[in-house]
């Protein structure tokens, strides 16, 4: 089976991406960008030239290992690197969460979204509003939640400690129709949070897989 390159911010979310592919019967090869979330945030605010060089080097290594497709399992990384341009340059099919959000936005009048950092929030907002300029949005950055996931804090304890149910209550009270889990770490606590909120939770992974299966 031809491997699919999995690019993500850290080894943890890269492994999560490989697991998503494996559960769908696909083979993934890991290519983390940074060793931890703080260094990944630093990478995302580095110069466009540096980010392009780093991503292109990884994609070149992936192609050398037989990968013709890439699965970018990181929202904030997707927002900070022009993967559409890199797809044209390398000839690879590169799927990111932002491709899903373009299709998602016209289905709603209002959406909340959370991400690892402001880089992710800005990228998601840009894509959503480009696809649906009339969309109302609310958002929050939550790097401490990512750090807690990387540290292995149990999902139920994480939801309680970081007041995620209360955050969902606020989003719902403000009229948001659903919450986008705008960081690929966040499905880690999706079930625990779903038990504590009636707000629909949106994970882009399933639709990303459908895009990968499209020639």
Give me the DSSP letters along 105-142: GGG-SEEEEEESSHHHHHHHHHHHHHH-TT-EEEEEE-
For the chain, how many structural domains are there in total? 2
> Are 81 and 150 contained in the same domain?
no
Domain co-membership, 65 together with 141: no
Assess whether 28 and 119 both reside in one domain.
Answer: no
Same-domain status, 112 and 186 = yes
Q: How far apart are CA 133 and CA 125, in angstroms?
A: 10
Q: Clarify whether residues 147 and 192 are in a common domain.
A: yes
- CA distances (Å), origin 192, targets 74, 132, 159, 184: 21, 30, 7, 16
Give pLDDT tens digits for 3-21: 999 999 999 999 999 999 9
Domain co-membership, 113 together with 160: yes
Q: In Å, what is the CA distance from 53 to each residue of 29, 39, 164?
A: 20, 17, 36
User: What domain range is 10 assigned to?
Assistant: 4-96+206-213
pTM: 0.85
65 in the same domain as 40: yes
Question: How do residues 71-117 score in pLDDT, each as one tens digit?
Answer: 999 988 998 999 999 999 999 999 999 999 999 999 999 999 999 99
- End-to-end CA distance of the chain, in Å? 15
> Can you give the pLDDT at residue 1?
79
Based on the domain organization, do 200 and 123 belong to the same domain? yes
| Rg (alpha carbons) of the chain, rounded to whole number | 16
Same-domain check for residues 91 and 136:
no
pLDDT per position as a tens digit, 28-52: 999 999 999 999 999 999 999 999 9
Q: What's the CATH number where 58 sits?
A: 3.40.50.1860
In terms of domains, do 122 and 181 share one? yes
Q: Are residues 68 and 87 in the same domain?
A: yes
């Amino acid at each position: 089976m031809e491997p699919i390159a999995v690019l993500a911010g850290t080894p943890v979310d890269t492994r999560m991406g490989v697991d998503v592919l494996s559960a769908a019967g696909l083979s993934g090869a890991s290519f983390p960008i940074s060793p931890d979330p703080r260094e990944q945030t630093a990478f995302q605010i580095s110069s466009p030239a540096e980010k392009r060089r780093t991503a292109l080097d990884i994609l070149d290594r992936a192609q050398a290992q037989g990968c013709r497709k890439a699965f970018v399992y990181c929202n904030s990384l997707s927002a900070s690197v022009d993967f559409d341009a890199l797809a044209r340059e390398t000839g690879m099919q590169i799927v990111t969460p932002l491709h899903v959000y373009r299709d998602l936005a016209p289905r709603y009048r209002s959406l909340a979204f959370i991400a690892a950092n402001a880089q992710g929030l800005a990228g998601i907002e840009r894509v959503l509003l480009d696809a649906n300029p009339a969309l109302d949005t609310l958002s929050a950055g939550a790097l401490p939640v990512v750090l807690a996931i990387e540290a292995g804090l149990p999902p139920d304890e994480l939801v309680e400690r970081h007041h995620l149910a209360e955050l969902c209550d606020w989003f719902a009270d403000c009229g948001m129709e659903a919450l986008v889990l705008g960081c690929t770490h966040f499905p880690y606590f999706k079930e625990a949070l779903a038990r504590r909120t009636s707000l629909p939770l949106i994970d882009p992974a399933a639709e990303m897989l459908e895009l990968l299966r499209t020639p």
